[in-house]
Chain A
């Protein structure tokens, strides 16, 4: 399991045990003394022992040194004065050991190092562990044990522990399983088939688990950046690597004056309308994960503030002269070429350098079309979970849909969001929970129209709006309005009456009793687009 280095001489570093190595003088050979026992092991030749102790233990140090010379002529004992005032003071002990490690010339090519952790205070043991784990001591740990009752000699025994866990087969296997579980979790349990994507997620898992550095997710809208982020946050929370919240912000919605205040917060009275203080997204994400999607849409001032917040974990809320603090992990999402934005002066190069440490490309659905089928099943599962209604394809319908969906004709401009919408529509329209050929054919037509209409920048919701508005009217509506309208239409379709839809849509105001007639509000809104509630009801 552990490879013994037989070619290099062993060098042990350790504390003199001021109580355990101190066993009286005359009677000392009848007792186990860890430092002496270390040099009495029949199958371990210590070529050199670097022994630490405070100056006041000089006499004990000499006794131990002389006794080791007797039982282990192979061992060269080098005693070091370790000036530690309080051996239970973590900082003091750590600093002393850290300083020793820094000044000591380790030559791992020529010598094999062991750190003896049986002696010294528990604080010293913790420090030795930490410094060995961090490779300040390029060593393995050695623990000595008193003799067992079954007649083991007074020398006792020892155990060598290598903190490089990959050396332990059983542990390595367990970690591999854990890693696979985590990767599968990040993929929402979808058995994706695209190799490049799988490798990518594999890497995301390792990076996300190992670091709190910023991560940059590149990829078209609907590629699943937001979903992946949520999963990273959940996974890191499970593994106790994050404690704070998941906060998701689409920077495209932050344009204008309120952007800084939304991100960094403001104090009461900071500007007209600032009737109450606001913490801002950064502070809400303290200790957690902040997902800034469409980071390229952020204004230059906000970019500068964000950079400082990342580097110093502090920033000034709007109107405040007192800095606020927040320590969050940033995941940035973008669909734009940020390098081009830097060239054109739209994006700060120093911020890009800061967030471009771990960059992952999230391919669109089209670029991993072999994953469409597993995602189709996943979406059906999700629909069942959300609506409490299990929907299935009949065999012919399924292969018909897949044949179209995987063909070059299908552009999947909105990527996985399009697929989600498509499955939702088919599931909703499926008679008796069974998606048949007719439902599929209608859906294929709907998708074809949507993609023909807005092949490049089509909003994911266009399929639905196309159905209720028709091509020409939809073309007259700004993308900005389409998103909201689509959500409203969806709610209307789910609701049995105008009032029910109104209650759903204005639930927050209703709770604050600031809106009395939400059915009327909804009717007026729909009117702006020449729509009425009854016409939206599914046939």
Chain B
């Protein structure tokens, strides 16, 4: 069964009803459901949105995702308001085009990007999307991950997507901007089952409107603990902030994985860097894992759209299993997680 059949079989089916408080219980359910609804054309009803969080319901950045999805899919939406605990989303036809998406509260631009990219890949023409807000937010994939991990993975599946950083935006001041171009492209099945060789490790320490010494102290720790050559660590100082982020790119035969650590008030630079080192080393230790845990949960949706796929990752996170459940609610696929030594094998396959 190919990708188009998978999607066609799902179309015109009954509305999908989801409990937004289940599993990871956050914004991920809403974003994945929106992408899938846009692509399959199936209406979706999500109740108890973020019901177990401190502030319940749709937050502004989720609301922006809902509104953007509604524009892209000419959708009719009920319950699209800040604090709303349920939404009903009825998509129309996908609209390729030029979109401008400003996000409030310095919300994550990359999360909105992940919502719209799969949908616009299925549209009938090329699209350009400019998203403004935070590009480097704690608890969210930074732009670097989108640019050097997620987009290349999509490209290997046949997607023609570019992501460009116009300006950094850190929480809480925001003010960042990214630009996406998306050409409609069918996705093909891939497998990322072995990491192969680690070809190169590079690091980058960025400060914005903060003393450069912070970045230098982080760079020092990264060099020492990861055994990097001086020229493998880049230090950048930006005017607009405040903000601090350190990233490490691990380039392997299976692709590049970007790891991130954010500077925080009252956390010494050395601690920020050593947290990052620990994450990188954890990944390197699981020798066969081709994909880290963050890319793992984001690969599920494009693989399901491609009609199947498989990869080996470090572990299955609640994000990944929740995402799998949402995908299975929309598409006739099954996602299996098999622990295999120090890694986990993930398979997406059409339902028999």
Across the interface, name the chain A residue whose C-beta is closest to B64. Answer: A74
CB distance from A75 to the nearest CB of B (A): 8
Contacts A6-B83, A43-B55, A155-B172 hold; do A30 and B265 have CB atoms under 8 A apart? Answer: yes
Chain A at the B interface: mostly helix, strand, loop or mixed? loop
Contacts A6-B84, A29-B242, A45-B63 hold; do A40 and B102 have CB atoms under 8 A apart? Answer: no
Cα-based distance from A43 to B106 in the complex (angstroms): 13
The count of A-to-B residue pairs whose CB atoms sit within 8 angstroms is: 65
Contacts A29-B242, A42-B55, A43-B82 hold; do A154 and B209 have CB atoms under 8 A apart? Answer: no
CB distance from B173 to the nearest CB of A (A): 5
Residues of B within 8 A of A42 (CB): 55, 59-61, 82, 105
Stretch at the interface among A65-73, A246-254, A280-288, A526-534: A65-73
B105 A155 Cβ-Cβ under 8 A: yes
B172 A153 Cβ-Cβ under 8 A: yes
Residues of A within 8 A of B84 (CB): 6
Chain B at the A interface: mostly helix, strand, loop or mixed? loop
CB distance from B235 to the nearest CB of A (A): 21
Chain B CB within 8 A of A26 CB? yes
- Chain A interface, number of residues (Cβ within 8 angstroms): 23
Residues of B within 8 A of A30 (CB): 242, 265
B82 A40 Cβ-Cβ under 8 A: no
Cα-based distance from A217 to B270 in the complex (angstroms): 83
CB distance from A276 to the nearest CB of B (A): 72
A70 B175 Cβ-Cβ under 8 A: yes
A71 B242 Cβ-Cβ under 8 A: no
A73 B103 Cβ-Cβ under 8 A: yes
CB distance from B319 to the nearest CB of A (A): 20
B173 A43 Cβ-Cβ under 8 A: no
Across the interface, name the chain B residue whose C-beta is closest to A75. Answer: B104
B174 A70 Cβ-Cβ under 8 A: yes
| In the complex, per-residue mask of A47-77: 1 if CB is within 8 Å of any chain B CB, else 0 | 0000000000000000000010011111100
Cα-based distance from A347 to B352 in the complex (angstroms): 98
Closest 8 CB pairs of A and B: A73-B102, A42-B59, A6-B81, A70-B175, A43-B83, A29-B173, A72-B104, A43-B82
Residues of A within 8 A of B59 (CB): 42-43
Across the interface, name the chain B residue whose C-beta is closest to A42. Answer: B59
CB distance from A34 to the nearest CB of B (A): 14
Cα-based distance from A45 to B80 in the complex (angstroms): 12
Residues of A within 8 A of B173 (CB): 29, 67, 70-71
Contact of B104 among A4, A7, A29, A74 (CB under 8 A): A74
Cα-based distance from A29 to B172 in the complex (angstroms): 7
Cα-based distance from A488 to B188 in the complex (angstroms): 115
Within 8 A of A (CB), among B25-77: 55, 57-61, 63
Across the interface, name the chain B residue whose C-beta is closest to A39. Answer: B104
Residues of A within 8 A of B55 (CB): 42-43
